[in-house]
Amino acid sequence: MALEVGVLIGYLVIFLAVLLGPFKIHVIEENLEPFLLVCGIAAMTLSGFTEIPGEEMGWNSEIIMEALTAPLHVGDIAGIPIGIFQIVLVVGLIIYKWHSPIHKVIRKLTDMLSVKVLGFILIVGLGLSSSVMSAILAAIILVEVVNAMPLSRKSKVDLTIVACFSIGLGAALTPLGEPLSTIAISKLAGEPYHAGFTFLLDMLGKYIIPGIFAYGIIGMFFLGKVSPKDQGMAAADYNETVKDVIMRAVKVYVFIAALVLLGEGFKPIILEYFIQIPSGILYWVNMVSAILDNATLAAAEIGPALSELQIKSILMGLLIAGGMLIPGNIPNIISAGKLGITSKEWARLGVPLGLISMAIYFVIIFVLGV
């Protein structure tokens, strides 16, 4: 059954607020995390006015617990829960304590290698390794290296955005990289795919690995005219306090909780309309992952009844679009928070790069049938 007109209008208002608010209203840009949390709460409340057979909509204890715990738990090490909040906080405190030797090593690398070569190594290296060490840790390493490189602010922003596209793609190759890949594997673990640890690598590797190297070349292009001797080019001095480190971790916590609520709140729209869209169109419709949690979208859209082409189109659409705006991916959130990148700065490169990437992959997957 179709959703009521009033509910659809409500969802449209929330969607436009999340999409346009950070660009149009400075107060929202400055307080993005609480704003997204409010939008997530509104979406969850609105979903309570919908009814879909076999699905529980609206507020319940499970959703509340998921929003509260999702930032705190992505896995366990020796029985200890590990989450995005803990990683950002602990690594941030380590860098606070030993930032001088860390930045010294990075600056030695910039002296030994050209900025272009270091940028290429950073983009490709983090993209390929993010599936093993997780997108979170890759993003933290990225911002520290970028911060210590002798680059203008614009070059740092450009390099960071391109690298986040690479990390977002690479993290999907194994279940260790990000929640989306973990969910996809669990959804396809039974008949007929029997998805295991290397399932996504086998299915998507031929698209993702060349894409990572392509982003490395794109990053070199943006850094092509950069010279450490140029005026205004200098490595940023480390000036964070313990309070700054803690507040960044808290903001990441709120951000992740907000994305959980937004994703769950928009579930009626996803279940009622998205999953009935043909693969080629759904590939483009999944650009909404630029502002919604792509793991939630994957959980709703992917299932064992889908063909391999449908699975490819869903996952690649979600992965690429996730780099377009700050809320689209965990690496974006971490990097933008640390480097103070605004929504407009991110969209300036993220949107065109994402659209071009999606167009290229669309031709490869749907036109050429590779």
Question: Contact at 8 Å (CB) between 164 and 335?
Answer: yes
What pLDDT does residue 231 have?
A: 40
- Specify the higher pLDDT residue, 210 or 91: 210
Q: Is the pLDDT of residue 124 over 90?
A: yes
Q: Is the pLDDT of residue 1 over 70?
A: no
Letter for the amino acid at 194?
H
Question: Contact at 8 Å (CB) between 184 and 298?
Answer: yes
Give the distance, in angstroms, between the CA of residue 106 and the centroid of all CA atoms in the same chain: 25
Rounded Cα distance, 11 and 29, in Å: 21
Q: What is the pLDDT of residues 170-206, one digit of tens each?
A: 999 988 888 888 888 888 888 889 888 899 999 999 9
Q: What is the pLDDT of residues 244-300, one digit of tens each?
A: 889 988 988 998 888 889 888 988 888 888 777 888 898 999 999 998 878 778 887
- pLDDT band for position 232 (50/70/90)? very low
Rounded average pLDDT over 134-139: 87
What pLDDT does residue 172 have?
A: 92
Task: With CA atoms as reference, report the closest residue to 346 among 169, 124, 209, 165.
Answer: 165
* Paired tokens of 174: 């194994």
Cβ atoms within 10 Å, residue 104: 11
What pLDDT does residue 2 have?
A: 67
Q: Which H or E run contains 364?
A: none
What pLDDT does residue 196 have?
A: 87
Question: Contact at 8 Å (CB) between 238 and 339?
Answer: no
The strand pair at 80-82 and 75-77 is best described as antiparallel
Label residue 357 left, alpha or beta by phi (over 0 means left) and psi (-120 to 50 means alpha): alpha
Rounded average pLDDT over 28-53: 91
Rounded average pLDDT over 16-23: 90
DSSP string across 169-226: HHGGGSTTT-HHHHHHHHHTSSTTT---TTHHHHHHHHHHHHHHHHHHHHHHHHTTT-
Rounded Cα distance, 280 and 277, in Å: 8
Q: What is the pLDDT of residues 326-355, one digit of tens each?
A: 988 889 988 998 899 999 999 999 999 999
Min mean pLDDT across 72-76, 185-189, 233-237, 318-322 is at 233-237
- Specify the higher pLDDT residue, 79 or 348: 348
Rounded average pLDDT over 34-50: 94
Q: Is the dihedral of CA 83, 86, 92, 94 positive or negative?
A: negative
